[in-house]
Amino acid sequence: MEDTERLVAALGMVSPEWREAFRAVPRAAFLTRFFRPVAGGYAAIAAGDPGFASMVYRDSVLPTEIDDDDSLWDYAREHGPVDGVPTSSSSQPSLMGMMLDALGARPGHRVLEIGTGTGWNAALLCHRLGSAAVTTIDIDAALVARAREALAALGFTPAVDVADGANGYPPNAPYDRILATCAVATIPHAWVTQATVGGRILASIYGHLGAGTMPLLEVTAPGVAEGHVLATGSYFMPLRAQRLPDLLPRSSSPGVTRPTQVYLDSAAPWSALAELRLPGVAATNSGYDQWLLHSDGSWAHSDGDRVTQGGPRRLWDILESAHADWSAHGRPPRTAIHIRVDQTGQHTWLA
């Protein structure tokens, strides 16, 4: 089986129209350089290296930037593996296919993609919808320049620009579909105002609770969008404007201790509800030793059967409330979680 067909086979139940796009638009054209995890950090890989095609056409994430520093690939190529945190990547193809299917974009729709990355996802959209229907933005100028070049080499000419995705992209609004290939702490209201009534918004919620929540919203009125969480979890690089630090300082404010019967379990469906209700909260989880921390000084620490909380908000109370709601509704799957975004903010409930 040739490389492209191996990748298409990994797409699973993706619709024939998008499977054809994956066949027609080669991933390798947008991944001439990337990183591979190795002992000691990340090694720089280039087209022509041994095993290059096997890595590119595998159904896996491939980091393309470390620590927001575009020069680190060149450094690693010359000096060997570098340490750091991936800040841009080529997403897992099967997840991309599922998201394109769920988005429901079809010829005649105008699409805004937030998070250009390599440009491959924009190319898939251009192949299906036509370049004139696609706008793609990224905050990283170096990534945008390479993506624009790769798109043009295949004859695709979407609108490609350097912009902060938190603001959407007003110059080409309105859009029938908005797709974020980066994660956000909350859905920006700017996206809702730039979408047509009846349009869809698909994004990934980023939080340290680890639930990987992906809501699909429909704009029901100007400035109002409602929808539900998809069954599939997702883990994208966070939008830079909404990143959480790996670990916030633990507050020295006094706390109050009480018993608890709830512990954070990122694999449980209710944790997606908790993640939506705790935007901006960082979490550490080492067995039953668990912390919740927020930049407003709120904190909670649980050792399994007791929790101590301090600061202006009781974060563990919010966590327990999400678990109680989920239990009261019969412990449903995450698809029962509904979301509404309007001018007052983001709201969640269980159907």
Domain 12-24+91-240 has CATH 3.30.930.10: no
Report DSSP state, residue 123: H
First to last CA, the chain: 44
- Which amino acid is it at 287? G
Determine whether 91 is an active site residue.
yes
Paired strand residues for 309? 256, 300
Tell me the torsion sign for CA atoms 135, 138, 143, 145. positive
The CA-CA-CA angle for residues 202, 206, 210, to 5°, reads 120
Per-residue pLDDT tens, the chain, 351 aa: give them.
478 888 888 888 889 999 999 999 999 999 999 999 999 899 999 999 999 999 999 999 999 999 889 899 999 999 999 999 888 889 899 999 999 999 999 999 999 999 999 999 999 999 999 999 999 999 999 999 999 999 999 999 999 999 999 999 999 999 999 999 888 888 999 999 999 999 999 998 877 676 678 999 999 999 999 999 998 877 766 665 555 555 555 656 688 999 999 988 878 889 889 989 998 888 877 778 888 988 888 999 999 899 999 999 999 999 999 999 999 999 999 999 999 999 999 999 998
**pTM reported for the whole predicted model:** 0.90
| Integer Cα distance of 210 and 122 in angstroms | 27
Candidates 91, 94, 234, 302; catalytic one: 91
